[in-house]
Amino acid sequence: KTRVLTGITTSGTPHLGNYVGAIRPAIAASRAPDAESFYFLADYHSLIKAQDPARTQRSTLEIAAAWLACGLDPDKVWFYRQSDVPEIPELTWLLTCVAGKGILNRAHAYKAAVDKNRAEGEDDDAGITAGLFMYPVLMAADILLFNAHKVPVGRDQVQHIEMARDFGQRFNHVYGDEYFVLPEAAVDDFVATLPGLDGRKMSKSYDNTIPMFAPRAELKKLIAGILTDSRMPGEPKDTEGSALFQFYQAFASKEQTAAFAQAFADGIGWGDAKQQLFERIDAEVAPLREKYEALMAKPDEIEAILRDGAARLRAAHATPALLRLREAVGLRDLS
């Protein structure tokens, strides 16, 4: 079976970008008969960006409920919270000791932070934590511990998967066996990256999102805030570069999208276009929202599902894998 792994950082409320870019395709992929799916809540990762305990906890619950509401079946896939699996940080250290520092220096997220400091006349590493610097190693551990074959990611994450391959390969080479499968990035060009309300990528940590399960009235208000140009009703509109059109496309069939493009050419007013978009999105998320709200009313049940998922995963995969790796590097045998 092909092992496919997807994580969402518990850094805020899940949004339409997470739904379109990760949750919806991951759940569809998990139904393929030859797939073994791993879905996790990346709460160690969230500490890099959001050092707000209440936010992390709320986000963990919300993202778990979002996966479940969208049809994840915890009996058929591996569903767990990263910090419930202590083998992940332990493997992170083993990999840290084979990871080239020069490779980490080139990681996009770290380089972007250094560039920002330079532009502002600060020291290169001002305000940058070792957590941000080491983040690709933690991500490599997430993937390599379970010997995942495929990691569906956006283009911006391809570099991190290459790093995971590099660290895995070095470990295999140094310790002389095929301990790790080398993972591949699966970039799906049909999966959209949704823009946020400020025009940057929609992202939990930018606070520019449309929450996946915003109540109807709020959803409508947020959609009204999507950026458009100032063309008047009756003037033809460009679909190219239109955030509104990108959203519509992500929630509509080919035929519906073609009709919407025609309406743009015919000069639909932005108010009408936003109303149509709202109806389209609401039609898809309304049934999920109901399930989500019911789940959020029972946090203990969500918690029990997560704990059970991690316990089973540790017994089946994580603990035996780590015993073998400890032995490989010469640490005390715990078995």
The residues of the shown chain that bind ligand ATP, judged by CB under 6 A, are: 8-9, 11, 17-18, 20-22, 49, 153-154, 193-194, 201-205
Q: Which lies closer to ligand ATP via its Cβ, residue 22 or residue 285?
A: 22
CB of 47 to ligand ATP, least distance (A): 11
Q: Which lies closer to ligand ATP via its Cβ, residue 154 or residue 299?
A: 154
> Are the beta carbons of 164 and 140 closer than 8 angstroms?
yes
Distance CA(59)–CA(73), nearest Å, equals 20
Q: Which lies closer to ligand ATP via its Cβ, residue 112 or residue 265?
A: 112
CB of 139 to ligand ATP, least distance (A): 10
CB of 274 to ligand ATP, least distance (A): 19
3-state secondary structure of 79: strand
DSSP for 189-247, please give it.
TTSPPPB-TTSSB--GGGT---BTT--HHHHHHHHHTS----PPTTS----TT-HHHHH
> Are the beta carbons of 12 and 54 closer than 8 angstroms?
no
In whole angstroms, how far apart are CA 24 and each of 76, 125, 141, 199, 244?
16, 38, 25, 23, 20
CB crowding 288-305: b at 16 or more within 10 Å, else e: bbebbeebbeeeeebeeb
Q: Which lies closer to ligand ATP via its Cβ, residue 268 or residue 285?
A: 285
CB of 196 to ligand ATP, least distance (A): 7
Residues in the chain: 335
308 is written with which tokens? 């059970």
Which residue, judged by CB position, is nearest to ligand ATP in the bound state?
21
CB of 335 to ligand ATP, least distance (A): 35
CB of 131 to ligand ATP, least distance (A): 13
Q: Which lies closer to ligand ATP via its Cβ, residue 11 or residue 60?
A: 11
For residue 151, list its beta bridge partners. Answer: 185
Q: Which lies closer to ligand ATP via its Cβ, residue 22 or residue 321?
A: 22
CB of 203 to ligand ATP, least distance (A): 3
Measured at the CA of 159, the angle between CA 50 and CA 4, to 5 degrees, comes to 80
Question: What backbone torsions phi and psi does residue 50 show, to the nearest 5 degrees?
Answer: -125, 110
Q: Which lies closer to ligand ATP via its Cβ, residue 195 or residue 325?
A: 195
